[in-house]
Amino acid sequence: MNAVLPLELRRVTHWFGSHRVLRDVDLHVESGEIVALMGANGAGKTTLINVVLGLISPQRGERCLAGAPAGELSRVHRAAIGWVAHSPQLYPRLDARENLELFVRLRAAAGARSAPIDEVLVRMGLTHEHDQPVATFSRGMLQRLALARALCSVPELLVLDEPFTALDREGRQQLSRILNDERTRGAGILLATHDAEVASMLADRVLRLHGGSIVAQVSRSELTGTHDEGFRARVMELWTN
């Protein structure tokens, strides 16, 4: 039984002071789909992600997880979510393994199971660096380790904020493969990006956020029978208009 999927936000509105950062946003993420959230800086992507993660409770609208309204995210909800933030959020004085172990043990204390750390390190290509202090890692390695931490939780919902930033070509291909694998496993993925190429390549649905509102969206399933190139063109159109 799912803990958080389907994720649904209904008419979510939020202010910071007198500035409205989200306006009547509807969002829906199902198992086994990748939803890309595109928007320029300041469009409200990170705030929307914070609402999804429970770091912000929307001032208007509703957040529903697994079909039930969720005012606050419980420990069970949070155990089912993997998150990769724009900053890697890792402890620089610990090594890669220690960073993962901390969260795996905190999860275990909460009764949540995690993937074996060694497996995840292999999957992320970090086996040789597992005992290196994180402070010595490059930006790309930090990003991979942050993703490794998210994957340790075998997430039902994977939320990623600009995960392709700082990754080289090989790293981008590896991340794309992993996201596709996670989708195949049945995870729902919410991906915030301002890279239209990434969105068109990976996503099942692409939403464009502008000024705190979803102003347009395109779904791969709407274009059944058309070539991938058709979807890519629609995403590019969505981004440039």
Partner 1 sequence: MSLVGRDKTSSMGPLPRQAWLLVLHDLRQELREREIVSTTVFFTLVVLVMFGLSFASLGTALHPLIAPGLLWLCVMFVGSMTLTRIFDREREADTLRALLVAPVERLAIYLAKATVTLLVLLACMALLVPGLVVLFPGASALATNPSTTIALVVLGCLGYVAVGTLFAAGLATGSGKHVLLAVVLYPVTSPVLLFALVATRALLEHHPRVMTYLGQMAAVDVLLLVLGAWLFEPVLVGVGRARVP
* Contact residues for partner 1, defined by CB under 8 A: 14-18, 50-51, 53-57, 59-60, 75-76, 78-79, 81, 83, 85, 87-94, 97-98, 101-112, 117, 149
Question: Which residue's CB is nearer to partner 1, number 57 or number 226?
Answer: 57
Beta pairing, strands 60-65 & 205-210: unpaired
Min dist CB 145 to partner 1, Å, is 12
140-158: burial string, b at 16+ Cβ within 10 Å, e else: ebbbbbbbbbbbbbbbbbb
Question: Which residue's CB is nearer to partner 1, number 87 or number 136?
Answer: 87
* Sequence-ordered strand ranges (E) for the chain: 7-16, 19-29, 34-38, 60-65, 68-69, 81-84, 157-161, 188-193, 205-210, 213-219
Question: Which residue's CB is nearer to partner 1, number 37 or number 159?
Answer: 159
Min dist CB 25 to partner 1, Å, is 14
Nearest in space to 58 (alpha carbons), one of 43, 36, 73, 39: 73
Min dist CB 112 to partner 1, Å, is 5
What are residue 153's phi and psi, to 5 degrees? -85, 5
Min dist CB 154 to partner 1, Å, is 13
Min dist CB 90 to partner 1, Å, is 6
Question: Which residue's CB is nearer to partner 1, number 17 or number 225?
Answer: 17
Question: Which residue's CB is nearer to partner 1, number 144 or number 208?
Answer: 144
CB 13 within 8 A of CB 20: yes
